Amino acid sequence: MGSGLDWNAMNMERVIDDKGALSIENTLDRDFEVMPASTPAMLEQIYALRYQVYCVEHPFEDPAKHPVGRETDCHDSFSVHAALVYRPSRELVGTVRLILPASELSPGLPVMALLGPDAQAQLRRYPLDHMAEISRYVISKSFRRRKGEEEYPDVNYSSQEAENSRRLMPHLTLGLMRAILHLGVSRHIQHFCACMRPALIRLLGKLGLEFKPIGPPVDYHGFRQPCIASMPDLLLGLQTRRADLSRVVQAA
CATH of the domain at 172: 3.40.630.30
Model pLDDT, residue 8: 34
Model pLDDT, residue 17: 43
Model pLDDT, residue 70: 97
Model pLDDT, residue 248: 77
- Residues of the chain where predicted confidence (pLDDT) is lower than 70: 1-23, 25, 104-105, 143-169, 252
Q: What is the reported pTM?
A: 0.81
Rounded CA-CA distance 227/221 in Å is: 16
Model pLDDT, residue 158: 47
User: pLDDT averaged over the chain?
Assistant: 80
200 closest CA partner among 182, 179, 224, 217: 224
Rounded CA-CA distance 157/159 in Å is: 7
Q: Residue 203's domain spans which residues?
A: 2-250
78, 103 Cβ separation under 8 angstroms: yes
Q: What one-character DSSP code corresponds to residue 114?
A: G
At 164, which amino acid appears?
N
How many domains, in total, are found in the chain?
1
Model pLDDT, residue 12: 35
